[in-house]
Amino acid sequence: MDLGKRKIIVQKYGGTSVGSVERIKEVARRIAERKKEYDAIAVVVSAMGKETDRLISLAGELTGSPSLREIDVLLSSGEQVSAALLVMALEERGVNARSFLSFQIPILTDERHAAALIREIRVEKLLQCFQEGCVAVVAGFQGITQTGEITTLGRGGSDTTAVALAAALNADFCEIYTDVNGVYTCDPQIHAARKLARISYEGMMELAGLGAKVLHNRCVELARKFNVKIHVRSSFNNEEGTWVNGREEEMEGALISSVTYSREEAKISVLGVPDKPGIASMIFIPLAEMGINVDMIIQNIGRQNAADLTFTVHEEDLEKALQVVKKVAVEIGAEGVHSDRNIAKISIVGGGMHSNPGVASLMFQVLAREGINIMMISTSEIKISCIIDSRYTELAVRILHDAFKLGES
């Protein structure tokens, strides 16, 4: 086989896709189908269903502060089991296959346990496997350091393994199988949504950052960097999913593609902040040092050279952030600190916003018409986000989806 002339594809199956023996058999059936068209298939698997949670919970019963090195040894066993079982299911169908753990390829990473970055994937052993007509089944989510330590890649790890593998193998594309049918114009549980046939890397990254849970940002960034075409689709049916590929600037005329929301935000206001240079950094530097991400920030200049400073953080970080902010507020002589968990971030995402100023004003009008107050606004080249009262989340998604005619293809 001359691999130079063959099409190579990478597939990735997530936890629910390999969540049971029956699901693993179904995945094997799918791979066997694909094998008729492609001689070279690398398959990346996640741990079965709730296996990772089970292992984390065992560790939690033993210690409140496990060493990350050992967490990686523990968790990487999950994908190892999935990989071996999938090979057995493939062999049972008469498809030659072989499992690969990170150290066997190797997939080399840096030394950061639980959040390792892939440095290099050597593909020789995989190519040899392809030459022998074998499907390569790779345990996702994990890597190995130069000194032979097991690492894991952190959130979205198996997606990242798949995209990195597709880049290293120069694969035609990377299929990411999950439990949803693709990327939608909004949450299908809230409103009749339309599945997008295609979205740009940048659009997908905004969506992932804004609450869409289909693909992790990190894997999309990697795909963008190496120009890997991703096809996000369901392993529970045969529908075409959504292709993630191409850059936003190449997509002229593509306007708003989706409405997203996140209720996982909280708002902190520091009231009556003296208007002096350096005050903002006194608040935001300690937050950054604690690893707390600040998303949106506004400052209203008010009476007597004092301002109100308002910003949002992930609601999980609220308590920690408040501790810091209350302390700083006293130091800088602010009048007080308020916080609010009952907010939501509603965003519209798509290309061409910069050249279509009408988009933002339409969004504000539509929300105003329903009496929804906009507390904060932030914009980028390809999205506009508004913070609103969380009780209006579903209403806002529906009216924006309709106003931007996202249900029509």
**Separation CA 94–CA 90 (nearest Å):** 6
- Would you call the peptide bond into 277 cis, given omega within 30 degrees of 0 as the criterion? no
Q: Is 155 in the site for a copy of itself (CB under 8 A)?
A: no
Q: Is 150 in the site for a copy of itself (CB under 8 A)?
A: yes
Q: Is 138 in the site for a copy of itself (CB under 8 A)?
A: no
Q: In this chain, which of 4, 94, 148, 278 binds a copy of itself, going by CB under 8 A?
A: 148
Binding segment for a copy of itself (CB under 8 A), chosen from 58-66, 194-202, 285-293, 312-320, is 58-66
Q: Give yes or no for a contact between 344 and 295, defined as CB atoms under 8 angstroms apart.
A: no
Q: What amino acid occupies position 234?
A: S
Which residue lies nearer to a copy of itself by CB, 77 or 217? 77
From residue 309, alpha-carbon distances to 268, 271, 306, 336 in Å are 8, 6, 10, 11
Which residue lies nearer to a copy of itself by CB, 138 or 176? 138
The residue count of the chain comes to 409
- Per the structure block, which two tokens stand in for 79? 């994908």
Q: In this chain, which of 45, 87, 223, 346 binds a copy of itself, going by CB under 8 A?
A: 87
Say which DSSP state 373 is in. Answer: P
Three-state SS for 103? helix
From residue 395, alpha-carbon distances to 34, 187, 399, 401, 403 in Å are 42, 12, 6, 10, 12
Which residue lies nearer to a copy of itself by CB, 63 or 409? 63
Q: Is 199 in the site for a copy of itself (CB under 8 A)?
A: no
**Separation CA 309–CA 63 (nearest Å):** 40
**Separation CA 171–CA 157 (nearest Å):** 19
Residues whose CB falls within 8 Å of the CB of residue 376, separated by 6 or more in sequence, listed in order: 267, 296, 298, 310, 312, 386, 387
Q: Minimum CB separation from a copy of itself for residue 123, in Å?
A: 15
Site string for a copy of itself, 18-57 (x = CB under 8 A): ---x--xx-----------------------------x--
Q: Is 124 in the site for a copy of itself (CB under 8 A)?
A: no
Q: In this chain, which of 3, 32, 73, 282 binds a copy of itself, going by CB under 8 A?
A: 73
Q: In this chain, which of 31, 42, 101, 228 binds a copy of itself, going by CB under 8 A?
A: 101
**Separation CA 50–CA 127 (nearest Å):** 32
Which residue lies nearer to a copy of itself by CB, 98 or 267? 98
Q: Is 117 in the site for a copy of itself (CB under 8 A)?
A: no
Q: In this chain, which of 70, 120, 221, 389 binds a copy of itself, going by CB under 8 A?
A: 70
Q: Is 263 in the site for a copy of itself (CB under 8 A)?
A: no
Q: In this chain, which of 3, 56, 104, 295 binds a copy of itself, going by CB under 8 A?
A: 104
Q: Give yes or no for a contact between 347 and 382, defined as CB atoms under 8 angstroms apart.
A: no
**Separation CA 260–CA 58 (nearest Å):** 35
From residue 15, alpha-carbon distances to 46, 49, 362 in Å are 5, 4, 40
Binding segment for a copy of itself (CB under 8 A), chosen from 89-97, 160-168, 176-184, 309-317, is 89-97
Chain residues that interact with a copy of itself, rule: CB under 8 A: 21, 24-25, 55, 58-59, 61-64, 66-67, 69-71, 73-74, 76-78, 80-81, 83-85, 87-89, 91-92, 98-99, 101, 103-104, 148-150
